[in-house]
């Protein structure tokens, strides 16, 4: 069944470049490498990780050039992966209990990060134009060799910075190669959110020149709102304290009684979303209290500034994919649930695009904003945009993946006119396939925002392939099919490195 594709568990790397079978014609200007990251192995010996977020990182690479596509993949040799492999033991990741752990081992987390909390399986992001990092949401990130995907360097952010103690999966990558990112800070009694800039400098390690932009105290007692992304405009950072609370009391309880980390994440149905606005350049925190209805948000789509006719700032728009907290528990993404069609593939849980307008020229200190559904019939998550040209700017098009309604599909919506929607369904031979987050690649001389293609990695029962869609109407213009005996796995996120900009990331 299709749902198994989410939790596909592989054992074998595909290190040599495998040429795919091309159907259709790939535009010659699509020249670069698609890097993707996700969970690729769940089973060790007779034990299996229980949660979608727990599979060990498998990085995939599609090198596209001269109308051809070459594929390779690699399990990242993290401490967590290597120890699970050698000991057939499920070292803790997120949602699975390590039944072999002792209280003494678990207590390590009270004083320091265990070395094995390093399964960097969520995203890959370039730093500058020569480096690439694999990310998760603990204290660790890894630099990869872009050619063979081996780990080059382990960066422990809590040792590098006197600020945040965690990394995040969705830093904003800036034009000059720098990042703006966000971390949890547990170093003070009251937990904080730290906004940090990694100023790009080719001679420095990634966090040595880190700069604290702003620090915001948590609104919760003994915990923080879980965060996974944030909005960025030309002048502001927009951060949502949302309905999922990471509860420190529950974490400590879990350490004593051996529960999975996921048990420390609670959905608070009635917690109004607190909207924080921070000056991007001076770190000034806007002191007004903006809030909106309770939301569960993983992914910001895009944010931008809106001006009055006289040029003064009227407000900020932040678009997000959001879930209704009444139907969302992060711990429910388990192996059992995802194979029994009680979670994904039903209406019980669904993500829609919401637009939040934050007025910046109103006098009140407390302002309720509305999280307006752009089109409640259109259900998707893993949103992407034409990031290189439109991040932080007024834009029209969002692309995303529908995992909530069969057959699974790729969605395009015009956020300025949300009735304008395209959908590309993936149901070949009457079987549903699993498409990935779509990645936009701009054409050479674009006129429109959507002049380009989308790259979609598709998992099917028989053959996996890279699907290349025209970004205007989502028609498939080409695909590169893997040989039947070569399998890939589900991926959360990734990026495309055009050869023109990322020369070193395109070395074979
Ligand atoms: Fe994500």
Task: Report, as an integer, the average pLDDT of 482-495.
Answer: 96
Instruction: Tell me the per-residue pLDDT of 264-282, one tens digit each, with 9 for 90 and over.
Output: 999 999 999 999 999 999 9
Band the pLDDT of 347: cuts 50, 70, 90.
low
Q: Is 300 annotated as a binding residue?
A: no
Q: Is-contact 329 348, C-beta < 8 A? A: no
Distance 364 CA to ligand 1 centre (A): 34
What is the 383 CA–ligand 1 centroid distance (Å)? 9
Ligand 1 centroid vs 300 CA: distance in angstroms?
A: 9
Angle at 141 between CA 138 and CA 147, to 5 degrees: 150
Rounded to the nearest angstrom, the distance between the alpha carbon of 228 and the centre of ligand 1 is: 6
Residue 494: exposed, middle, or buried by beta-carbon count in 10 A (0-12, 13-18, 19+)?
buried
SS3 string, 76-130, reads CCCHHHHHHHHHCCCCCCCCCCCCCCCHHHHHHHHHCCCCCCCCCCCEEEEECCC
**Omega before residue 391 within 30° of 0, cis:** no
pLDDT value for 1: 42
- On whether 228 is known to bind a ligand per the annotation, the reply is yes
> What is the rounded distance in angstroms from the CA atom of residue 171 to the CA atom of residue 140?
14
Any bridge partners for residue 480, and if so which?
22, 466
- Give the pLDDT confidence score for residue 392 in this predicted structure: 98
- Comparing 1 with 363, the larger pLDDT belongs to 363
pLDDT at 391: 98
Beta-carbon contacts of 156 under 8 Å, excluding residues fewer than 6 positions away, are 113, 139, 140
In the sheet with 313-323, reading across from the earlier edge strand, the strands are 296-307, 313-323, 351-359, 371-373
* Residue range 57-74, pLDDT digits in tens: 999 999 999 999 999 999
Supply the pLDDT for residue 346.
61
The DSSP 8-state label assigned to residue 158 in this structure reads H
Q: Compute the distance from residue 507 Cα to the ligand 1 centre, in Å.
A: 27
Specify the pLDDT at position 344: 63
Rounded to whole angstroms, the Cα distance separating 47 from 9 reads: 12
* CA atoms of 41 and 10, how far apart (whole Å): 5
Distance CA(468)–CA(438), nearest Å, equals: 9
380 C-alpha to ligand 1 centroid (Å): 13
- In the DSSP assignment, the letter for residue 418 is T
For residues 500 and 503, what is the distance between their CA atoms, to the nearest angstrom?
Answer: 6
Cα 479 to ligand 1 centre (Å): 25
CA of 298 to the centre of ligand 1 (A): 6
Q: Higher-confidence residue: 316 or 190?
A: 316
pLDDT at position 3, please? 53
3-state SS string for 241-303: ECCEEEEHHHHHHHHHHCCCHHHHEEECCCCCEEEEEEECCCCCECCCEEEECCCEEEEEEEE
CA of 488 relative to ligand 1 center, distance in Å: 19
Q: Is 170 annotated as a binding residue?
A: yes
Q: Is 60 annotated as a binding residue?
A: no
Contact (CB, 8 A) for 451 and 443 = yes
Nearest residue to 491 (alpha-carbon basis) of 184, 17, 71: 71
Instruction: Kindly state the average pLDDT of the residues 8-18.
Output: 90
- Please give the Cα distance from 91 to 105 (Å, whole number): 11
pLDDT surpasses 90 at 286: yes
CA atoms of 78 and 404, how far apart (whole Å)? 32
Domains of the chain (ranges plus CATH)? Answer: 14-506 (2.130.10)
- Ligand 1 centroid to Cα of residue 168, in Å, is 9
**Interatomic CA distance for residues 437 and 348, integer angstroms:** 21
The residue with greater pLDDT, 35 or 462, is: 35
Q: Please, which pLDDT band fits residue 37 given cuts at 50, 70 and 90?
A: very high
* 167 Cα–ligand 1 center, Å: 13
Select the more confidently predicted residue: 426 or 161: 426
- Distance in Å, CA 311 to ligand 1 centroid: 35
pLDDT per residue over 110-129, tens digit each? Answer: 888 999 999 999 999 999 99
| 3-class state of residue 364 by DSSP | coil
3-state helix vs strand vs coil in the chain, percent to 5: 15, 40, 45
Q: Give the other-Cβ count within 10 Å of 390's Cβ.
A: 16
If we measure between CA atoms, which residue out of 298, 292, 371 comes closest to residue 328? 298
Find the 28 Cα to ligand 1 centroid distance in Å. 30
H/E element, 440: strand 439-442
- How confident is the model at residue 109, as a pLDDT? 87
């Amino acid at each position: 069944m299709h749902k198994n594709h989410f939790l596909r568990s592989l054992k074998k790397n595909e290190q040599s470049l495998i040429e795919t079978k091309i159907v259709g014609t790939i535009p010659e200007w699509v020249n670069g490498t698609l890097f993707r990251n996700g969970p690729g192995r769940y089973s060790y010996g007779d034990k299996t990780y229980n949660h979608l977020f727990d599979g060990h990182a498998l990085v995939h690479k599609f090198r596209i050039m001269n109308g051809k596509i070459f594929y390779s993949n690699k399990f990242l040799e993290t401490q967590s992966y290597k120890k699970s492999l050698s000991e057939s033991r499920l070292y803790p990741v997120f949602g699975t209990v390590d039944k072999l752990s002792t209280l003494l081992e678990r207590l390590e987390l009270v004083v320091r990060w265990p070395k094995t909390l390093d399964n960097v399986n969520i995203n890959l992001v370039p730093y500058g134009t020569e480096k690439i990092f694999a990310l998760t949401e603990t204290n660790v990130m890894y630099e990869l060799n872009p050619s063979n995907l081996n780990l080059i360097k382990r960066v422990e952010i809590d040792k590098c910075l006197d600020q945040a103690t965690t990394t995040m999966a969705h830093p904003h990558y800036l034009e000059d190669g720098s990042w703006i990112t966000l971390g949890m800070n547990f170093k003070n009694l009251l937990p904080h959110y730290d906004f940090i800039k990694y100023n790009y400098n080719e001679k420095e390690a990634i966090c040595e020149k880190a700069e604290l932009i702003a620090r915001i105290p948590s609104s919760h007692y003994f915990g923080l709102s879980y965060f996974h992304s944030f909005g960025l405009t030309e002048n502001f950072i927009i951060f949502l304290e949302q309905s999922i609370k990471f509860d420190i009391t529950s974490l400590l309880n879990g350490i004593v009684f051996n529960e999975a980390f996921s048990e420390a994440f609670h959905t608070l149905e009635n917690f109004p979303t607190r909207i924080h606005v921070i000056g991007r350049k001076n770190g000034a925190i806007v002191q007004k209290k903006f809030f909106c209805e309770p939301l569960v948000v993983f992914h910001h789509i895009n944010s931008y500034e809106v001006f009055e006719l006289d040029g003064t700032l009227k407000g900020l728009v932040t678009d997000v994919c959001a879930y209704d907290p009444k139907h969302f528990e992060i711990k429910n993404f388990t192996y059992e649930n995802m194979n029994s069609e009680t979670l994904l593939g039903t209406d019980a849980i669904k993500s829609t695009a919401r637009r939040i307008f934050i007025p910046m020229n109103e006098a009140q200190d407390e302002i309720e904003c509305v999280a307006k559904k752009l089109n409640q019939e259109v259900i998707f998550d893993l949103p992407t945009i034409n990031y290189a040209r439109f991040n932080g700017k007024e834009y029209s098009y969002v692309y995303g993946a529908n995992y909530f309604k069969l057959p699974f599909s790729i969605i395009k919506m015009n956020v300025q006119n949300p009735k304008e929607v395209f959908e590309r369904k993936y149901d070949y031979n009457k079987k549903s396939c699993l498409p990935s987050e779509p990645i936009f690649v701009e054409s050479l001389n674009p006129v429109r925002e959507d002049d380009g293609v989308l790259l979609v990695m598709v998992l099917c029962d028989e053959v996996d392939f890279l699907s290349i869609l025209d970004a205007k109407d989502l028609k498939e213009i080409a695909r590169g099919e893997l040989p039947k005996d070569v399998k890939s796995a589900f991926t959360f996120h990734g990026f495309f490195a055009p050869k023109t900009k990322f020369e070193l990331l395109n070395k074979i």
